[in-house]
């Protein structure tokens, strides 16, 4: 089983630390670095963050670096480690520009991108971007289809309910063929249906071994309905705080997780190495 790390960098993070941290993560033997996305935050909001009891984002963040920009910087400082968006808020973005950023990052990194995607939860962010929140799920699916068309060979074109793409040139293409793997985040029924119909993988987040097993069983059923099986997708899981221990990690592995993604958020240089060592011991003993 592989092990990735979830990190976040903000306006307090020295650029030199980002490069050094990425090199340390790679040298330690981790398989991937995952970065989240939000373009703006709010001191007050009515939307509920789905992964905390009080509905607030932990740490009350005021800003984070764009994942594609930060991952491109990390790509220039590393050689092997995979580069993941965890997750990209697809319906907030124009799909052509998103396809461009994914393809360029894959090209510049030598084919190391894992494209984690989701529909988003922070309505206030959509509202201030003047993007419709209610229709985000349908747009996400079509935007993924637009991106796949752009990443494919020859001229790209698309005709859907929410987006039309006239025949056009789009280059460079991604290094990975047919494109970087697409991991749908989310644990709800609609999210798992998107994995089954359009995903190359599932990124389940903030899960215990028990909730992971239950959601994985449901995904198996949905994959079967779509004429697919677990052999067609990769299964990645981010343990909740209580499950970042050796026993839980062993359970995730036994249940079929291909990668466990542990948090290294908010670390300073003096704390990075011992935290990495602890995380590696949890997975590899």
Mind listing the pLDDT tens digit for each residue in 18-76? 999 999 999 999 999 999 999 999 999 999 999 999 999 999 999 999 999 999 999 99
Q: Give start and end residues of each alpha helix (H) in 55-208.
A: 67-77, 95-109, 123-128, 136-151, 189-198
Q: What is the pLDDT of residue 188?
A: 96
The 8-class DSSP code of residue 200 comes to S
Mind listing the pLDDT tens digit for each residue in 197-245? 999 999 999 999 999 999 999 999 999 999 999 999 999 999 999 999 9
The distance from CA 240 to its chain's CA centroid, rounded to whole angstroms, is 16
Q: Give the chain's domains with CATH numbers.
A: 2-284 (3.20.20.30)
**If pLDDT is split at 50, 70 and 90, which confidence band does 272 have?**
confident
Mean pLDDT of 176-198: 97
Distances (CA, A) of 34 to 82, 182, 266: 8, 13, 14
**If pLDDT is split at 50, 70 and 90, which confidence band does 268 have?**
confident
**If pLDDT is split at 50, 70 and 90, which confidence band does 136 have?**
very high
| 206 contacts 240 by C-beta, under 8 angstroms | yes
Q: What is the pLDDT of residue 76?
A: 98
More confident residue, 275 or 23: 23
Write out the DSSP string of 3-42.
EEEE----TTS-HHHHHHHHHHHHHHT--EEEE---S---
Q: What is the pLDDT of residue 278?
A: 85
> Does residue 277 carry a pLDDT above 90?
no
Q: What is the pLDDT of residue 269?
A: 76
Write out the DSSP string of 142-172.
HHHHHHHHHHSSS-EEEE-SS-EEEEE---S
Q: How many CB atoms lie within 10 A of CB 206?
A: 16
> Does residue 266 carry a pLDDT above 70?
no
Q: What is the pLDDT of residue 257?
A: 98
Q: How many CB atoms lie within 10 A of CB 93?
A: 18
Q: What is the pLDDT of residue 48?
A: 97
Please tell me the pTM assigned to this model.
0.96
**If pLDDT is split at 50, 70 and 90, which confidence band does 254 have?**
very high
Q: What is the pLDDT of residue 142?
A: 98
């Amino acid at each position: 089983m592989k092990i990735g790390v979830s990190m976040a960098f903000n306006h307090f993070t020295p650029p030199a630390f980002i490069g050094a941290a990425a090199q340390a993560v790679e040298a330690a033997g981790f398989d991937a670095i995952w970065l989240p996305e939000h373009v703006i935050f709010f001191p007050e909001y009515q939307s509920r963050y789905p992964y905390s009891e009080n509905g607030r984002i932990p740490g009350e963040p005021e800003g984070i670096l764009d994942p594609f920009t930060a991952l491109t910087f990390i790509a220039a400082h590393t050689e092997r480690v995979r580069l993941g968006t965890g997750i990209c808020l697809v319906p907030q973005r124009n799909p052509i520009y998103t396809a461009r950023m994914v393809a360029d990052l894959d090209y510049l990194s030598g084919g190391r991108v894992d494209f984690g995607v989701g529909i988003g939860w922070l309505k206030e962010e959509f509202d201030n971007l003047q993007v419709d929140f209610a229709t985000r799920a349908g747009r996400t699916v079509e935007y993924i289809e637009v991106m796949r068309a752009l990443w494919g060979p020859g001229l790209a074109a698309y005709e859907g309910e929410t987006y039309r793409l006239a025949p056009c040139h789009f280059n460079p293409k991604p290094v990975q063929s047919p494109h970087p793997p697409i991991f749908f985040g989310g644990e709800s029924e609609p999210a798992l249906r998107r994995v089954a119909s359009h995903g190359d993988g599932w990124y389940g987040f903030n899960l215990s071994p028990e909730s992971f097993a239950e959601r994985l069983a449901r995904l198996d059923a949905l994959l079967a309905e779509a004429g697919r099986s677990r052999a067609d997708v990769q299964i990645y899981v981010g343990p909740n705080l209580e499950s970042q221990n050796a026993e839980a990690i062993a359970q995730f592995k036994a249940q079929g997780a291909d990668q466990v993604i542990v948090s290294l958020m908010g670390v300073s240089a003096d704390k990075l190495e011992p935290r990495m060592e602890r995380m590696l011991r949890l997975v590899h003993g």
